[in-house]
Structure 1
Amino acid sequence: MEFSIIQYSKFMTLLNMLLHNLKTLHMSLEDSIKWLGEVMAEIGPSHSQKFEECNVFDIKQANAIIDYLKISLFQHYKLYEFMFFSAREEIVIGTEQVIEVVRPAGSPFPDPLEEGISFDIYSTFIEPPPTLDTEMKGLDQEQRPEESQPETDTSDMDPLVGFTIEDVKSVLGQVTEGILMGVQTEINEKLQIQEEAFNARIEKLKKA
């Protein structure tokens, strides 16, 4: 419309006041139209020469402004009311992440897969402590070389001198039976420990 600076100022003030009446004063559509008519009568065209200086819009400009408001604000008045007065749901842009850490072995929580973590972490925090049998085995292995040293210092005499074949068979039978009994006892203890460990894991899985 090639408005002047004063006309631009009046037009923007008019738009701002219409939105203010709608948002703050909760004016209805009828009240807004009446208010616009009163304001346009003041700043629009007039045949009175007394108020000629206050009139900033001619008839063509005033009609163009009214047509613009009719197809923009007044035609979508319900939409503006909904935008200003209706509560809308907040859209939260983001996602909350929950990270579970490995809990102690005594808690009702299944152990993580060994291949899913590094060996250092597994051996430090998750691997069960060595049992008493394992510690005893380590001590026996450390003591056996020391016990075998005196045997190397003995003379080259044949240790079987003075024994018959029956004596050798009897001694070998006793030694073999003792070794087999010890191995069988050790196997039974290991099986019992593994069975208790599996039962504990099954109970943890049931509780989880």
Structure 2
Amino acid sequence: MSAKAKQSNKSADKNANDRNDAASKDNDAEKANPQWKLINHEQINTLLDLTVEQVQLQFEVILGLKNYQTCLKEAALLDYFVSGFWWAREMNYTCQQISFIMALLQLLLDNIREKQMPFVDNLNEFAKLISGTRQSPSPEVDSLLDAEQAMSITDYLKCSLFQNYQLYEFLLNRPREELLLGKKLTQGQRTSQEEDGEGPGETGLQQEKENKATEFEGFNVQDVKDVLGDLTKEMLGDLQAEFTEKLRVQEESFSTRLDPLKQPANSYTS
């Protein structure tokens, strides 16, 4: 084989290795910061210029929700994704960050719907992903989220999905017929009470409250806050430390600016 042919083969091998390295880095970045598969960044950029009503119309098509006006499950899904997108828009996140947030919302919901993942396991999945956004895939690339953004997303998911986790489990994993049957039974009980002259009354209302409390016990607001608090300390401790350090630096900066203003007052007093 001639020297020219050998050189050509080496160049081809080098180019192939470079492509493999680039593909490997892209795969690592995708695993650390997944992007929403249903729409691309260009489509997200278009949605940012729409009103919330227009965004909802677009999401009906994107999610394939044709019966959201009559189906409770579809209505909840539409509200879940539209609210998440609009919150991210109001927070002025980039298209890449919004795509990650939407992918995160999708993953957590799929964990409930397809894997029937328990609350704590899904919470751990979220914590791992949100921690991964603080790790840059390469020295040349910034991390996807800063400390404050990661904490804001944590707070949003705490108040939206995790605080109502068992409601989503009930909604996504119960057949539609069972949901309708439960609604009909409840209406039938109320009608029977009204015919007997009882009306809802205090007894009926109290029983309804007790039933709801039993159905969703173990997932009240305080429980969610406690669990998320522990995970935040364990897995997001570095984010909190970074945020605290920023506050300390800012406080020192303010103190430095205020020192010259204090001097005349001290001189006057003496």
TM-score bucket (shorter structure): 0.3 to 0.5
User: Structure 1 or 2: larger helix share?
Assistant: 2
TM-score computed with the length of structure 2 as normaliser: 0.31
**TM-score, normalising length: structure 1:** 0.39
